[in-house]
Structure 1
């Protein structure tokens, strides 16, 4: 007798169009929020199949998993309780990696947003340096941002016992780590890296200058760890002694410098290019609760890429944000109040959820280690990666660090009728963050009652820590409960840049003020359609209609005050409306800079990690002002500070402004005059409309030298495996003596596969234009100028225009970040203030980004 087996029920899948339509409806017509959610956070497999239709499917997935962990402990939260708090991004918002990874069976990735790595004993051997390089790449492929410090590397010119005889110093290794970052893809985005160095290191000046040279260290953020002694020397206009090893009482090398000379260089470079950032290292270490356990492996050495989480080697952190706007009752009315009772209640739940996410992370790490063990490589090949994750697992399990923070600070204040940056605004923000800090610690103590304290908790070690002392002064009952029961988590709080999260909460980002309350956007239209208004015709003849876009909460203020939101206002009318609103003179470009610095310092007192915040300055801001802001930040107790002067990252940065003309000419003609027979090549895949296209980019020193592109999937096109992302382009000759270009890649068994004749696989018309574009590349024309050239081509054939768009998309990824896009306007707000960021055109006025 045969046994009937039930057919396996396959999960429901959705098309991109279905998910987009449903998500736009979910976000009340906000297509940008819908697209961000689909691209970054919706559950999908490696084939691109979507398993979630709207964000509430994601919230249900997350709630189920957190409830599963809760069931292990006393007094568990139900799935419905969790779902009700996270749905619609209203109250509690897991960020980034937790949102994408919790309950995701299709991707073996970490739930941690950020990591710091380092070497035991600060080894600066080549083996140690290469180990860090490999660890960085292994973390980035699992979706994490990484930071590490370079202060252990011996300075330039130091004796070494190898063929070089002397050390090359820090800068070449900055380049190595930066290049590794650029090589790692993370679901359509690049990895994120923070490199830091102590100001006490003799090579710190070279570190500070490294990014000013064109094309250098483009894959990393850089920050200088500045100690109090250096800052005092700056104020006193005195000297400062640099050492290697840093701060050694018996250094191998030391030199005395004028502190103000180096300080002015830091200020100048930050004014010019927004980097380096500054980390006030003595403040960070003194305030750090985990550093009470420094001898047990918790000595802070660097930060994550955005600077809000200082970490010890192999520790990591997961992030969650509280949506502050949702705690304002009767927003934008004279009855508006902040519901502190509800806020406190939700903080306790949020901290429990954060602790649950650590258990989920430990499961993810076990899966990563199992994947490593199952891989066919030799054990010695896998050893570094395996040990890395074992170290991370130890830290996550032992310290159970969390990163609870906020978003919508700017909208919260506006909804209460309080001006961001005012004394009243700063005082209220401090009260909110003090409440968050105290209640998160209380929640961690209560959780320790049920689940146990973190493994190495020792109240005696922490008793003199300034942050713990402030908690004791504010709430001695909490302090004595912590002495009795311990605390579940070694450190708890941060303020991260919420970026894409704020697009989905439809609020201002993080602790920052609102960027712009209103701007104009353009919609492409058919000028022959009836009842269509044409406001603008671009350089290629496309017609556009302009319409007003309101920041979501500004629109809510308008509705509350009976102001029509569906009218096409003139700019003068918009200015009058904004002037009446609580957002007037309270945007990022309006806020008083000194006030913002003092606010950051006051809020920092209640954040045990750090704060990611940028001080936006107008283009005409002076270097003197930047220096004053940095000094004020140090004196106010900030742990770090970054300034951005409008336009400071536009164009190409050259290390020596007085470069001679012949040197500049040499830069433009750096490529060889004769095409090498073999070129390294990248493979770029993309879609033009609904067609699959492929491009092969020949490279010299990582820079585009030639391009071939066309259809990837028709009878005359090219099909290669999706995992083949690079290879070689080889110039060969046909039997008749004509030249051809072949593409060669290595298959998974290690055998080489060759596709002959790229030049003949595509439409001959494409090939003719490809020769033109390749010629401009070979003569050193800047990529952004080539992109402009291609965009300006007036082509009759629809297929050639499609080809043109494909070449532009393929080349844009090689445009240097920060390069100004001249002659183009933002389709969101019509601004001409566009720069390239990771191959995408980003508007510096409204923040919108468009790739392709």
Structure 2
């Protein structure tokens, strides 16, 4: 791509260090050696120009390309609005794929199944995530007419999709993300619900069960319901609805998977039912789409729209930003180069966009409104009602300028004599994990996960970062001190710090301070005025029992949500002993006994030389019964600090192996740990001494095996790229330090 020409008077983006790091790592165009080839200013101007250039397609446009490019640029560098990541990465580049999420159909034949695998690979390569419904596939053991054999079922084919995803990195920067969905009345539903029981299985999939109205009514009445073979429409058996619902609850309690979506409710809001039923969503569940549809998303930063007037929100500015953002997102549809012609046709026939928000928790902080309050819910409804109304008004203006979306005449809008509109949908509450780091605000509509936390910036050095509104509040209350901020960083919350004034403790609540029911109520408040769905996690404490999740699921159904994701704190990082109903056992401190095996007098093994940024590492691995038993790591001359650290790594890895820890778990802990002196070699990029140790162990003992990408620590999952703790919010793991997310 040619260099971007920057106007002399173009303002320079003002970025904090965290935003600079994330932009450099994930968004700036890179050269052949991975070095950035553009500045932050050039990135935003590249995007603004590419999207504004689409105005030339419309003779009735009320804007010139030059004026609009400036407007788009100013809106992005002020961080009042940001488009989804693929648009920031690819607008104005040769790749040119700007949409975040796609749904690909999976038909009941080998040709259709492997076409879907191929199409998903192309989408992942271009930077998008994919959703699939496997509900059309005949169940396991059903007869296959062409061969006389038997089918292997949906879960078996999901593993093929998972393996294919593992081999393709999105846009060369990140692994793809998938959503797998199965209808609750599919005969293989129980196998699907349990398909992620083993850690690491289907690690590139989020999974959700599509619940029907008939099933929910059967749960309520405690009745059985029919299982339907999709290829014949025959009833293949029955299950007790409450038992299936209980298993769903149990698995969500154990690990957060699967989530649930309410399929009939989603289809009642399908604006183009003549084109078919919606079967699936994108990877985080907030964007239901027809087969071969895609949607481009963007978010408004509410934190920057607070005022100190009685209004609380600058409604005039919010209206302006909404109208500019809708025009921006509609232009993205024209600017994007889609990976399949069928996707291009569907997207430009329906022109779905998804305008959402971020910074809502920060808005509440500025207005002294607790997240878990009726006042908080009222503000959520008022803000989203306003955005919904104005986005429809903006879409109507575009329809006057450019014409309605081509499928408008057969849409529910035409039948209700509404519109015409340029876009079949205009609003979605999408995840903003990485975008909110750029904007320096809270994620989506989530509460803050922590008011303050320590970020590891260099070897052994920590930088404490705090929410600016909280820090200002405690300074105004004259209770700010370095000791307080360290205590908040250690706990994340101030709920139990009694010397902080009660009014501050009431307003500055975090995700785990809030009762789960309030998480769900807030999701429902935003859903009330959102076309598509809401990306939101209902956080529960580790002590939550399965009945708590049952109530959350049922309330989501009653309050009109389109789906729900729950996450019990620590559920994927080592469990307290529990009884079958999810309550604590009588002896919570009891643990399985672990014995360290004694070393035989003679061990045989190998020594491998590995080049690292600190010099040559000599790693000796001794084996017992063909398995790694102990590790000795030597680097540099005796006495150096790095030598001591290498020896410590070897000793701890040896202790783990001799205690029966699987080598895959050891590799998962060490792989991806960053260091100051990464080096490139034939083995690839080795980030540090522990990363080099993991490389040797992985390539000696794990060839052909898929590692889980959760990289579980003893207490919480850690980022595979920077080793910081991952946070589960908006339906996905995200790293607040570097912007890594498992869901693209």
- Asked if 1:554 is matched to 2:536, the reply is no
Q: Give TM-score, length-normalised by structure 1.
A: 0.69
Is the aligned partner of 1:143 residue 2:127? yes
Closer, same or farther: CA 810–36 of 1 in aligned 2, 3 Å: farther
State the alpha-carbon separation in 1 of the partners of residues 150 and 87 from structure 2. 45
CA distance in 2, matches of 1:399, 1:705: 59
Change (3 A) 1:176 1:411: same
Q: Does 1:154 align with 2:138?
A: yes
1:99 and 2:88 equivalent? yes
Query: Are positions 1:50 and 2:36 aligned together?
Result: yes
RMSD: 4.4
Deviation at 1:302, TM superposition (A): 0.4
1:227 maps to which of 169, 190, 212: 212
Tell me how far 1:522 sits from its aligned partner. Answer: 5.5
Supply the distance in 2 between the matched residues of 1:45 and 1:230 (Cα, whole angstroms).
53
1:273–1:325 Cα change, 3 Å: same
Asked whether 1:191 is paired with 2:191, we answer no
Q: Distance in 2 between matches of 1:239 and 1:787?
A: 43
- Quick one: which of 91, 94, 98 aligns to 1:111? 98
SS in 2 for 1:318: strand
What is the aligned partner in structure 2 of residue 816 from structure 1?
708
Aligned mates of 1:133, 1:783 — CA distance in 2: 27
Secondary structure (helix, strand or coil) at the match of 2:126 reads: coil
Deviation per CA, 1:795-852: give whole Å up to 9, x if none: xxxxx99544422478799652445313xxxxxxxxxx3314557645256954579x
Distance of 1:153 and 1:694 partners within structure 2: 51
Q: Does 1:327 align with 2:305?
A: yes
Structure 2 SS opposite 1:338: coil
Task: Tell me if 1:338 matches 2:323.
Answer: no
Q: Report the CA distance between 1:157 and its aligned residue.
A: 1.6
User: Match for 1:515 among 438, 446, 449?
Assistant: 449
Cα contact 1:834–1:842 (8 A) shared by 2: no
State yes or no: 1:500 paired with 2:485.
no
Deviations 1:545-570, CA, capped at 9 Å, x for gaps: x6642123433545666775777746
> Could you say which residue in structure 2 is the equivalent of 1:718?
none
Identify the residue that residue 759 of structure 1 maps to in structure 2.
none
Give the counterpart of 1:490 among 403, 424, 435.
Answer: 424
Match of 1:82 in 2: 72
Of 420, 423, 427, 2:374 maps to: 423
284, 294, 305: which one aligns with 1:316: 294
Count residues in correspondence: 654
Distance 1:693 1:317 in 2: 48
What does residue range 354-373 of structure 1 map to in structure 2 within 5 Å? 354-361=329-336, 364-365=337-338
TM-score by length of 2: 0.78
Aligned mates of 1:245, 1:805 — CA distance in 2: 47
Mapped partners of 2:53, 2:670: distance in 1: 56
Q: Distance in 2 between matches of 1:425 and 1:635?
A: 20
Q: Aligned partners of 1:405, 1:791: CA distance in 2, in Å?
A: 33
Match of 1:65 in 2: 50
For the structure 1 residues 789 and 564, does the alpha-carbon distance in structure 2 shift closer, same or farther, using more than 3 Å as the test? closer
Larger Rg: 1
Equivalent residue of 1:621, what SS?
coil
Q: List gaps (5 residues or longer) in structure 1.
A: 1-7, 14-21, 369-388, 470-478, 526-541, 658-664, 666-674, 676-684, 696-702, 712-764, 793-799, 823-832
Take 2:617 and 2:551, find their aligned partners in 1: how far apart are those partners?
Answer: 52
Out of 254, 267, 276, the position equivalent to 2:249 is: 267
Mapped partners of 1:515, 1:589: distance in 2? 7
Structure 2: unaligned runs, 5 residues or longer: 581-593, 595-603, 605-609, 620-626, 636-645, 674-685, 729-734
Number of the residue aligned with 2:677? none
2:402 equivalent to 1:451: yes
- Equivalent residues of 1:404, 1:492 under 8 A apart: yes
Inter-CA distance 61–460: structure 2 relative to 1 (3 Å threshold): closer
Structure 2 counterpart SS, 1:221:
strand
Structure 1: distance between partners of 2:108 and 2:410: 35
